[in-house]
Amino acid sequence: MEKIKNAIQVKKLSKDFGQDRVLKCINRDFESGKIHGIVGNNGSGKTVLMKCICGFLLPTEGTVIVNGRRVGKDVDFPLDLGVIIETPGFLPGVTGVKNLEILASINKKIGLSEIADAIRRVGLDPHMKKPVGKYSLGMRQRLGIAQAIMEDPSLLILDEPLNGLDKHGVAEMRKLIKGLSAEGKTILLASHNQGDIDELCDTVCEMDAGVMTSIRGYEG
């Protein structure tokens, strides 16, 4: 399949909650195969934008096109997409592997070997018997990243993926994200950590009160 130049196209996108306009006429193309950083304070609209791109929220105005298909019209949710938005929700009483098995059963794309590979790739042990309810915040975050990458999607939307990780964990996951980019994946990354943005991102834009401005690496 021919690679699409812009994995994500956001056109005149606005989103209202009641009387409050939280996204204001955003226009932005995100080029395929790059890591695109989004920075901004809490309440700036970063997460709402990501939810619109994923199909979790429908825009009030404008369109989102992912891999050539309009979200909410051609597809309800973009295909070939891995997501972490907010704190990953898992069943607390079962293991990490079992949680991912349950999620993988929805699309039926992968089996236990791919799940185990994803878990190893984020630095967890697929044979660990500990239930997720006893995981640390950092371990939960790693499992969330494993869930996002396990079906080998071409596009990743990662909202604060390194939250809760210690210094060693952050270094490991930055290395993983660089490796995923080297495989040709398109990554949209929101982070409060300037170090993540500086080290990882090819382009950076800022959200402030629902308005997006480009900071670096973006033409157009």
Residue type, 158: L
Closest CA to 84 of 18, 182, 209, 180: 180
- The count of C-alpha atoms lying within 13 angstroms of the C-alpha of 126, restricted to the half-sphere facing its C-beta, is 17
- Comparing 62 with 43, the larger pLDDT belongs to 62
Kindly indicate the confidence band of residue 218, based on its pLDDT and cuts at 50, 70 and 90. low
Is residue 219 predicted with pLDDT exceeding 60?
no
Distance from first CA to last CA of the chain, Å, rounded? 26
Contact by Cβ (8 Å): 160, 85: no
Whether this prediction's pTM lies above 0.85 is answered by: yes
Cα-based distances in Å from 129 to 4, 12, 104: 42, 48, 19
CATH 3.40.50.300 fits 1-80+155-220, yes or no: yes
- Say how far apart CA 64 and CA 197 lie, in whole Å: 24
Contact by Cβ (8 Å): 179, 209: no
The pLDDT of residue 1 is 46
Other Cβ atoms closer than 10 A to 143 = 23
The pLDDT of residue 167 is 93
Strand residue runs (E) in 4-128: 6-17, 20-31, 35-39, 61-66, 69-70, 81-84
